[in-house]
Amino acid sequence: MSNLLETLLSERDWLLADGATGTNLFNMGLEAGEAPELWNESEPGKIRALYQGAVDAGSDIFLTNTFGGNASRLKLHDAADRAYDLNRISAEIAREVADTAGRRVVVAGSMGPTGEIMAPLGPLTIEGAAEMFEEQARGLMAGGADLLWIETISAPEEFEAAALGISRVGAPWCGTMSFDTAGRTMMGLTSADMVGLAQSLPYPPLAFGANCGVGASDLLRTVLGFTASAPHLPVIAKGNAGIPKFSDGRILYDGTPELMADYAVLARDCGAKIIGGCCGTTPVHLTAMREALESRPRGPAPDIETITGRLGGLSSASDGLGVEPGPLRERRRRRG
């Protein structure tokens, strides 16, 4: 299926994705434990502002406020039966923002993990998960999303289930996993494993990559792992804005706009084609990232020493592939 993202990927060397959803909504007053997806209906003005902030900062792609919009997660808020409508409403707001942007902007329907353990380790079967992803996908596409965006997945079975559910809708999609355990996902996948998984699916994504995880240095090490496997799909990099710190009852991220600008350029030079931020990334960070990508010339692929020297140390010595380069985070260079 031809779509706007494919068109932009064919025309551009890089695309800027958006930043954090949770961080920016907490800054607007979302309370801990509150379901962000319920704001799609109760606080549409704030959700519109969330999307508009990314567009105004220069994002070519922004994600809907539907990360936890599947029936399993919404059940925790007595809203499992509202999954379709909450996803549709969020995408409708996003469509309005994209259509008035004055340039081509991709609306990506965010679909996060179910929060359940997949069989055989847990109770959730691939078919059961696929049904939840399908319901969410149908709501997002009905609301006007250009494509679907699976994110923060750790189990290969859940990634497969998402692809299966989306295939029943016939929508284009992208997918990212979170590599936060010594270069692996929580369920043990390496960067090379994900390349093989993404490219072997019967209904493959348009692009794949990594999001969230630990810090920007760790994420770029994973990106280098992707590109070393020579994937034929475009690579996505969506790293956190620095390292989380707990302060005054809130989690804050220490990544400055300058650090995220360096990260964006390094991500491009590592081989990522879609570059954005995850936790802690605000429109101020995105503006700096866009300016850096537009103004700094492309360079050679950086090595680990260059990455850690610019962004700070790694959280673990291992990249999950048997390589142990770079300084650990204890020796992280402070910025800002």
Q: Say what the pLDDT of residue 328 is.
A: 44
Q: What pTM did the predictor assign? A: 0.94
Contact between 47 and 87 under an 8 Å Cβ cutoff? The reply is: no
Q: Which structure tokens are listed for 36?
A: 């962000």
In the predicted model, is pLDDT for residue 325 greater than 50? no
The model's confidence at residue 245, banded by pLDDT at 50, 70 and 90, is: confident
**What integer best gives the mean pLDDT of the chain?**
93
Residue 327 has pLDDT above 70, yes or no: no
What is the C-alpha separation between 213 and 179, in angstroms, rounded?
Answer: 5
Confidence of residue 333 (pLDDT cuts 50, 70, 90): very low
Over range 287-300, report the average pLDDT. 98
* Helix, strand, coil distribution of the chain in percent, nearest 5: 45, 15, 40
Confidence of residue 323 (pLDDT cuts 50, 70, 90): low
Domains by residue range for the chain, with CATH? 4-331 (3.20.20.330)
pLDDT digits (tens, 9 = 90+) for 137-186: 999 999 999 999 999 999 999 999 999 999 999 999 999 999 999 999 99
Look at 68-72, 139-143, 232-236, 322-326 and tell me which has the smallest mean pLDDT. Answer: 322-326
Per-residue model confidence (pLDDT) at position 330? 38
Between 2 and 172, the more confident residue is: 172
Whether the ω angle into residue 44 lies within 30 degrees of 0, i.e. cis, is no
pLDDT at res. 24: 97
If you write DSSP's letter for every residue of 184-225 in order, what string do you get?
B-TT---HHHHHHHHHH-SS--SEEEEEESS-HHHHHHHHHH
Q: Which of 241, 207, 232, 237 is nearest to 222 (CA)?
A: 237
Is residue 253 very low, low, confident or very high in pLDDT (cuts 50, 70, 90)? confident
* pLDDT (0 to 100) of residue 249: 67
pLDDT tens digits, one per residue of 49-74: 999 999 999 999 999 999 999 999 99
Would you call 239 helix, strand, or coil by DSSP?
strand
What mean pLDDT do residues 230-242 have? 95
Tokens representing 119 are 């069989």
DSSP summary character for residue 118: B
